Structure 1
Amino acid sequence: MSRCFPMNVWYAAAWDAEVKQALLPRTICGRHVVMYRRTNGEVVALEDACWHRLVPLSKGRLEGDSVVCGYHGLKFNAQGRCTFMPSQETINPSACVRAYPVVERHRFVWLWMGDPALADPALVPDMHWNDDPAWAGDGDTIHLKCDYRLVIDNLMDLTHETFVHGASIGNDAIAEAPFDVTHGEKAATVTRWMKGITAPPFWAKQLQKPGPVDRWQIIRFEAPCTINIDVGVAPTGTGAPEGNRAAGVNGLVLNTITPETETSCHYFWAFVRNYRLNEQRLTTELRQGVSGIFREDEVILEAQQRAIDENPDRAVYNLNIDAGAMWARRLVDRMIDAENPSHSRQAAE
């Protein structure tokens, strides 16, 4: 059976602050994982199933840097090797659990679920704004009961803001404005400029200047599931379309979506800004505000997944506005096919 997600990539598994010297279970790409920090601060990620009777190790406890199974007391070190078995001195050499490659970067803990020999840290998606001192912000995680690709579709086509988020970031200008789509081997970009428009409530509050604005949305997708969106507004005529955004306000919506199962996912997001950097109250207000906006998406996406499940034979259609999402899907499919050539041949037939 073919998967709907590639395995030989880095997936965000948690915010760095979530992983402590305690057992944290999570399901990534259909596999149960338990994470914890060693006493030296390094993050460990192990298969969450004891070698002996498959009881989740997350039901056990930490003893120093080792996990002790809560059923029969087997101990596993940070490399997944069993170091103790009850009532016997000889340890079965096959007694181990899988240890997953881990990288901490951009405030996230990233796991490699595929071939560990291919786990190159240089392949971690670029989300450097999340811990860049020139930017300030915060984010959260949403657990969604939907295929992770539905979230990608949602983020690659922001015309839905007009209809789903009309009270905050949406207005008619988004659905009416032209856009440009470009793509490469592993990335796709959707660029939309809305010139001389009325700022929607969210951005009017950030800019705090009367009059028409030029608004931009530049959506950058990196396969398989990271999307960084360059957003902002500036007073019309101050040069933002030509590259001078100094008179405006600029933010970045950072998104990376990790499949949990084929119909559920972990959605990690952050909103960062390059203005009023030292105002913690603004950071909190923005996180709360964006959380409310994304809750509106959550309702739509989970309803969409239910409809797909109930109507497996129904076709899904595309409009011009879906061009970015269509390219993102193609890029993901190429990654999946590269890992499973037989599936690629079957699809061609």
Structure 2
Amino acid sequence: MFPVNTWYVAASSDELKDKPLGRTICNQRMAFYRGKDQQVHAVEDFCPHRGAPLSLGFVSDGKLVCGYHGLEMGCDGKTIAMPGQRVKGFPAIGTYAAVERYGFIWVWPGDQDKADPALIPEMEWHDNPEWAYGGGLYHVKADYRLMVDNLMDLTHETYVHATSIGQPEIDETPCRTTVEGDAVVTSRFMSDIPAPPFWKAALRAKGLADDVPVDRWQICRFTPPSHVMIEAGVAHAGHGGYEAPAEHKVYSVVVDFITPETDTSMWYFWGMARKFKPEDATLTDQIREGQGKIFAEDLEMLERQQANLSAHPTRALLKLNIDAGGVQSRRIIDRLVSQEQAASQQQETTA
């Protein structure tokens, strides 16, 4: 259950080089490739000749060539040529709107006529000398909405991430959830507490004391279809917390792009944009490694959670106040899906 008339991250830019890339998005198998001038294109991953995956082919002179019998496809989904054969009458295959921006390949799985690149969320940290970014990709065998739940309720940090970013004060501090149009914001502010191991390391990296009390914040923002940005950081206590001057805090944005692959699997693009010591490439690598380990701790939990839910599809789950962020996010997703389905039915009726 996912909206399709929206932008999803399909890949990072460095994943798509001189060879095609096959990826399933929203139950649709797609082949991505770079045509002339390195422009990104996306077509159905299906050769009209024998059904071979076009992603197993290659790119020649800006055209996608099937690796089975050499059929050449155009970016418009129409067959161009095939060695020794007449193929001009072959039916066209599906195509998708695709855009490269902010170091990612974005795809619109639905109606291309509705695909507006202006709807891609802005990322102030990209190509900004004041920021550094590092991230990665995980394939997770779970409903993408479970990851939205996970990120919009950071109470689990105390238990799943006890040795890195978790601490009892998270449990002891209530969170607040608000809905702003199609966005959901869950925030938690903790005062005068010890810094957990991950943030102690960040303080040291910036040359700040790590053995003094800090004010800590987590501001999780969900926006459709399934993007979650988390403002996170700590400041030496007594300097204003979230509003503290830069010299007293370490600040970052945890970047989470959650792209449904199937009903029970997802592509999870994760990363951290930080606003301290952006020139330190070694620090970027260290944070990426540390963050990757933290997110890896979620994977087993989510995949086993999915296995339980699949085994008991009608079993009701409890909802607590800490679940408000995920619940509200799901309501927005449900509403968008319902609107798309209603519009599709109306179009079929009037056709």
TM-score by shorter chain over 0.5: yes
* Residue in structure 1 matching 2:7, options 2, 5, 10: 10
Paired residues for 1:201-216 under 5 Å: 201-208=197-204, 209=209, 210-216=211-217
**Which residue number corresponds to residue 347 of structure 1?**
none
Deviation at 1:241, TM superposition (A): 4.3
Paired residues for 1:21-36 under 5 Å: 21-36=18-33
Change in 2 beyond 3 A, CA 1:192/1:299: same
Distance, in Å, in 2 between the alignment partners of 1:145 and 1:56 is: 22
Local SS of the residue matching 1:101: strand
1:66-112 CA-to-partner distances (Å, cap 9, x unmatched) read 122233322112222211144444610x5322221111112110001
* Residue in structure 2 matching 1:115, options 92, 111, 115: 111
Distance, in Å, in 2 between the alignment partners of 1:130 and 1:178 is: 33
Q: Are positions 1:66 and 2:63 aligned together?
A: yes
Amino acid at match of 2:283: L
Change in 2 beyond 3 A, CA 1:68/1:241: closer
Amino acid at match of 2:314: D
Q: Are positions 1:124 and 2:120 aligned together?
A: yes
Query: 1:198·1:212 contact (CA, 8 Å) conserved in 2?
Result: yes
Deviation at 1:205, TM superposition (A): 1.7
Distance, in Å, in 1 between the alignment partners of 2:130 and 2:78 is: 42
**Which residue number corresponds to residue 183 of structure 2?**
187
Q: Are positions 1:227 and 2:258 aligned together?
A: no
Query: 1:74·1:82 contact (CA, 8 Å) conserved in 2?
Result: yes
Local SS of the residue matching 2:125: helix
**Which residue number corresponds to residue 270 of structure 2?**
269
**Which residue number corresponds to residue 306 of structure 1?**
307
Q: Which runs of 5+ in 1 are unaligned?
A: 345-349
Amino acid at match of 2:119: L
1:176-226 CA-to-partner distances (Å, cap 9, x unmatched) read 112211112210101110000011011112113131100000111101200
Amino acid at match of 1:203: W
Local SS of the residue matching 2:94: coil
Change in 2 beyond 3 A, CA 1:130/1:293: farther
Q: Which moved more, 1:254-263 or 1:33-42?
A: 33-42
**Which residue number corresponds to residue 334 of structure 2?**
333
Deviation at 1:243, TM superposition (A): 5.4
Distance, in Å, in 1 between the alignment partners of 2:244 and 2:154 is: 22
* Residue in structure 1 matching 2:75, options 75, 78, 82: 78
Change in 2 beyond 3 A, CA 1:90/1:22: closer
Amino acid at match of 1:102: A
Amino acid at match of 2:56: K
Superposition RMSD in Å? 1.8
Query: 1:101·1:112 contact (CA, 8 Å) conserved in 2?
Result: yes
Query: 2:3·2:333 contact (CA, 8 Å) conserved in 1?
Result: yes
**Which residue number corresponds to residue 254 of structure 1?**
255
Distance, in Å, in 2 between the alignment partners of 1:318 and 1:76 is: 50
Distance, in Å, in 1 between the alignment partners of 2:186 and 2:266 is: 24
Distance, in Å, in 2 between the alignment partners of 1:307 and 1:13 is: 28
**Which residue number corresponds to residue 159 of structure 2?**
163
Query: 1:36·1:45 contact (CA, 8 Å) conserved in 2?
Result: yes
Distance, in Å, in 2 between the alignment partners of 1:128 and 1:9 is: 21
Deviation at 1:343, TM superposition (A): 10
Query: 1:50·1:57 contact (CA, 8 Å) conserved in 2?
Result: yes
Deviation at 1:258, TM superposition (A): 0.4
1:9-44 CA-to-partner distances (Å, cap 9, x unmatched) read 001000011111211111111111111112411111
Identity of aligned residues (%): 44
1:110-161 CA-to-partner distances (Å, cap 9, x unmatched) read 0010000000001112333244322102000000000000000000000100
**Which residue number corresponds to residue 19 of structure 1?**
16
**Which residue number corresponds to residue 130 of structure 2?**
134
Local SS of the residue matching 2:238: coil
Distance, in Å, in 1 between the alignment partners of 2:234 and 2:305 is: 31
Deviation at 1:59, TM superposition (A): 2.4
Change in 2 beyond 3 A, CA 1:242/1:43: closer
Query: 2:169·2:193 contact (CA, 8 Å) conserved in 1?
Result: yes
Q: Are positions 1:320 and 2:321 aligned together?
A: yes
Query: 1:231·1:251 contact (CA, 8 Å) conserved in 2?
Result: yes
Query: 1:226·1:256 contact (CA, 8 Å) conserved in 2?
Result: yes
Length, aligned pairs only = 341
Query: 1:239·1:245 contact (CA, 8 Å) conserved in 2?
Result: no
Q: Which runs of 5+ in 2 are unaligned?
A: 346-351
1:237-264 CA-to-partner distances (Å, cap 9, x unmatched) read 0112455454110011000100000000
Q: Which moved more, 1:301-310 or 1:32-41?
A: 32-41
